[in-house]
Amino acid sequence: MIRKIAGIVAGLVVWFIVATIVNILFRISWAGYAEVETVMSFTVAMMIARLLLGALSSLCAGFAVASITKANRRAAMVLGALLTALFIPVHYGLWDKFPVWYHLIFLASLFPFTLLGSDLSRRLLAIQE
């Protein structure tokens, strides 16, 4: 049980670390990104990049939870559901800042990409054995 909880917590931490690092890279390398980020007036390309950032963060979080929990699918499912639950109020608060498609894609991607990251970890563990 402790391993499952540790895996879920680590997955959350990994999600936010990956998202923060990639977002910093966007600010540094993408002309104009830092300026529009403060008012959340992103271009379509920037919104797509942010969606990809979310997908990558979810993949990494799923990979982390599976690595720690020895590929426990239930822990990955809990993490995916927890991420979704955490971001629903965030996106509700940002509802007028982004188009509906952006919110729907982001929220709908959290759970499956977390499971996909977990599955990737499980496959790598199986190959190593």
- Residue (of 36, 39, 14, 18) closest to 27 by Cα position: 36
pLDDT of residue 124: 84
| Tens of pLDDT, residues 68-97 | 998 899 999 999 999 999 999 999 999 999
How far apart CA 57 and CA 18 sit, in angstroms, is 5
> Going by C-beta distance under 8 Å and a sequence separation of 6 or more, which residues neighbour residue 21?
none
With 90 as the cut, is the pLDDT of residue 129 above it?
A: no
Of 54 and 70, the structure prediction assigns the larger pLDDT to: 54
User: How sure is the predictor about 21, in pLDDT bands with cuts at 50, 70 and 90?
Assistant: very high
Element (H, E) at 7: helix 2-29
Query: What is the pLDDT averaged over residues 19-30?
Result: 97
pTM of the model: 0.93
Query: What is the pLDDT averaged over residues 41-67?
Result: 97
